Structure 1
Amino acid sequence: MAEDDRHTHKVFIVSIFPRLPKLIKDQVPGLSVVSFLVSGEMLRHTLDTNEIIKQIEESKADIIISFPHMLHILVQAGLNTDALKWFHSCSAGVDELRGSLSKLPEDLICTRMGEGYGGFMAEYVIGQIISREHYFPQMLKDQEQKLWQRTKFIKKRSLCGLTIGILGTGAIGSQIAAICKAFGMIVKGLSRTKKVLPFPNFDILMQQQDLGQFLAGCDYVCSVLPSTPETSGLLSGNVLKACQEKETVLINIGRGDVIDESSLIKALNMKWIAGAIMDANEKEPLTKDSPLWNEPNVVITPHISGPCTTDTIAKVFVSNYKKFIKGDPLDYTVDWQTGY
């Protein structure tokens, strides 16, 4: 049998990556791949959902590659997913998938991006820590005003000996731990399930029920947690009061619902935390009237700490496709019990 004859499946891609269809077809000759290219922000009001749905139906695709929120938008607009056998997410988070389908058919496979983000996200975390400890934003402001002031920048801390607590000890958390460890930081990890030392690049391991004790003593707390019923609101309320001894800095590169905005503002006002670096927020895009924009000790970035790349998406999909046609288990399959 010729290799092309084995490819009876049809793939439809809805993405912002113009090179993705060709990359996949080059690696899987004979596979039918149709693509609909959308604008960079992929906002609901900018999408021609009727045209996308029409093209998906005409293609008779049983595999869709896109972002979870895109599938959610299309299902709300009337996309029938009964014929869908596999949805591959272009992101690591899949929380919006749970609301995309009225029910998850037993024969529907959902996979996510389980690699390709950790390096970017680790660089983001260490970059933000260095920027804060070395006063880079304040120096930039002085430069803009042509001010030469050294005294206020002399009192700085070396990363060596500072403690970072990482919420989430999976692949991404582990890469963050590795880069922090390389700078001499003490690394604590909090996980849903029990893990024991020695565990690469972690000095201390704790479980979720020990959250208060975990937060105490951290100079930085970094959340890489997915959005699940267990993690939603985990840091809300008065939880961050446990950070007040060291006035911890919170970094959120996971999902925004780990803390609600009012709880974050309260923690800042009560000086339980010294600042926050928010790449993920409760509401996205962050509304113009959000008080977080004007908080002097808050850094806002537009959920970009771990951008996906065309090559990595193609690599993960093609690897899984070869397993899919053989009937083998796929990598990074979503576990609907844990939510990721």
Structure 2
Amino acid sequence: MGGGPEVPLRGREKELLLCVLPWPESTSEKVIKEITDEFPYIDLHYVQEHYQNKADRGKVVIPEELYKRARVLATLSWLPPSASAVPDLDLIQFFSAGTNHVAQHPIYKDSEIPLTTASGVHGPQIAEWVVMMFLIHGHHYISLYEAQKRKEWVNMSGRTVRDAVGQRVGILGYGSIGRQVARVAKAMGCDVIAYTASPRTTPDSKKDNGFIVPGTGDPDGILPSAWFSGTDKDSLHEFLKQDIDLLVLSVPLTKATTHMLSTEEFTLLEKSNAHGTYVANISRGGIIDQPALIKALENKQISGAALDVTDPEPLPSDDPLWSAPNVLITPHVSGGTEAYAERAFQVLKENLRRRRDGGKLVNQIDRKRGY
């Protein structure tokens, strides 16, 4: 049983925790039992949402009599039609890192129901994806693999490898993902610099107050050798001038961050690094002006790009990005892991504790900021 005061039942009914998620309930049995054991006043009802593609996500039909009783909702995309349809709902825990996919929904726009995310559960697997792509690029692995398929022994490319030691990793958006990238990059001997919207000038302001997978990340914010900040172009440009070898984009998609990297920014990167900056985008496709990225790749303004996100998604088969030089594209899979659902339930469990004890929710969305 968990600590803290036990919340009395509302009348004789338990509080309904409605879970509408795409994973089988069996994948999270252990943590679900931990939740029902620690919060005996909660009745957890699980609905697995089945869909074949992203366009069908959130379209599952949930009986009105079920969601009308909900006090807490755990979801990836599905939402009730309006706040009035869920009069007792006082927490929505998203199992996604962001909420831009529901930003136009009435519950997001017109209600004050607290919204929290699963930010923090993606750090390990996405950091591995970023570093994997960086090493594939730096070690010319694609050409080696193509030679293998041709059954050719070609070892000249191995003589031009530029290893990671001493290279500079610039992390645009120093949240849980960026902090784990920093941890791995430092282990390889890289220098790390960070960029955030707000200044982080004190030890306390540099701390990560969100959910952290144990043993990962940079909880105290001590890894960057330099920290840049701002919401204006001049501040961003100062950061991009820092001779960055690997630029990791890890910011939420908002009006302010849309096309954050465009022609002017690629020109700055070209001028600041003679080796060429490698760009890894694991946030949202709209962060980059995609036509400008294609031109930057074609003109060798950057050394290459690794993209787990594109604009739009899925990327149409005739989009010129597919055939741009030195680009690696994956279909928005870097955040996937067998441990995903279980970790997201851990975030939910922590927020149920804070809700019970009157604490500040972890990963709560600021609707005005959009994240």
Q: Normalising TM by the smaller chain, what interval?
A: 0.7 to 0.9
Structure 1 residues 225 and 100: CA distance shift in structure 2, 3 A: same
SS for the counterpart of 2:303 is strand
Aligned to 2:99: 94
SS for the counterpart of 2:306 is strand
Aligned to 1:210: 235
What percent of counterpart residues are identical?
A: 27
Is residue 2:140 matched to residue 1:135?
A: yes
Residue of 184, 187, 202 corresponding to 1:182: 187
**Partner Cα separation in structure 2 for residue 261 and residue 150 of structure 1:** 34
Aligned to 2:207: none
For the aligned residues, what is the CA RMSD?
Answer: 2.6
Residue of 209, 219, 222 corresponding to 1:200: 222
Structure 1 residues 119 and 307: CA distance shift in structure 2, 3 A: same
Aligned to 1:279: 308
- Displacement of 1:85 in angstroms is 2.2
Q: Normalising by the residue count of structure 2, what TM-score does the alignment of the two structures yield?
A: 0.81
SS for the counterpart of 1:226 is coil
**Partner Cα separation in structure 2 for residue 56 and residue 250 of structure 1:** 48
- Displacement of 1:181 in angstroms is 1.1
Aligned positions, number: 330
Residue of 9, 19, 25 corresponding to 2:15: 9
Alpha carbons 2:36, 2:43 under 8 Å: kept: no
Q: Normalising by the residue count of structure 1, what TM-score does the alignment of the two structures yield?
A: 0.88
Aligned to 1:334: 365
Alpha carbons 1:257, 1:282 under 8 Å: kept: yes
Unaligned runs of 5+ in 1: none
Is residue 2:86 matched to residue 1:60?
A: no
Alpha carbons 1:13, 1:21 under 8 Å: kept: no
- Displacement of 1:4 in angstroms is 8.5
Amino acid at match of 1:314: F
- Displacement of 1:58 in angstroms is 5.8
Amino acid at match of 2:331: P
1:232-289 deviation digits (Å, cap 9, x = unpaired): 1111243211111332111001122111221211221232112110012221122222
Residue of 249, 258, 268 corresponding to 1:232: 258
**Partner Cα separation in structure 2 for residue 60 and residue 312 of structure 1:** 26
Structure 1 residues 165 and 41: CA distance shift in structure 2, 3 A: farther
Deviates more, 1:144-153 or 1:194-203: 194-203
Aligned to 1:116: 121
Structure 1 residues 5 and 57: CA distance shift in structure 2, 3 A: closer
Aligned to 1:154: 159
Residue of 36, 47, 50 corresponding to 1:36: 47
SS for the counterpart of 1:235 is coil
Deviates more, 1:300-309 or 1:160-169: 300-309
Alpha carbons 2:298, 2:324 under 8 Å: kept: no
**Partner Cα separation in structure 1 for residue 202 and residue 139 of structure 2:** 32
SS for the counterpart of 1:157 is coil
Structure 1 residues 188 and 2: CA distance shift in structure 2, 3 A: closer
Is residue 2:281 matched to residue 1:252?
A: yes
**Partner Cα separation in structure 2 for residue 224 and residue 210 of structure 1:** 17
**Partner Cα separation in structure 1 for residue 258 and residue 8 of structure 2:** 45
Residue of 347, 352, 370 corresponding to 1:321: 352
Structure 1 residues 40 and 120: CA distance shift in structure 2, 3 A: farther
Unaligned runs of 5+ in 2: 204-220
Aligned to 1:171: 176
**Partner Cα separation in structure 2 for residue 195 and residue 26 of structure 1:** 36
Amino acid at match of 1:10: L
Residue of 304, 312, 317 corresponding to 2:333: 304
1:184-228 deviation digits (Å, cap 9, x = unpaired): 112121111112388511112212432223223111111001112
Alpha carbons 2:98, 2:119 under 8 Å: kept: no
Structure 1 residues 160 and 21: CA distance shift in structure 2, 3 A: closer
- Displacement of 1:41 in angstroms is 4.9
**Partner Cα separation in structure 2 for residue 269 and residue 320 of structure 1:** 47
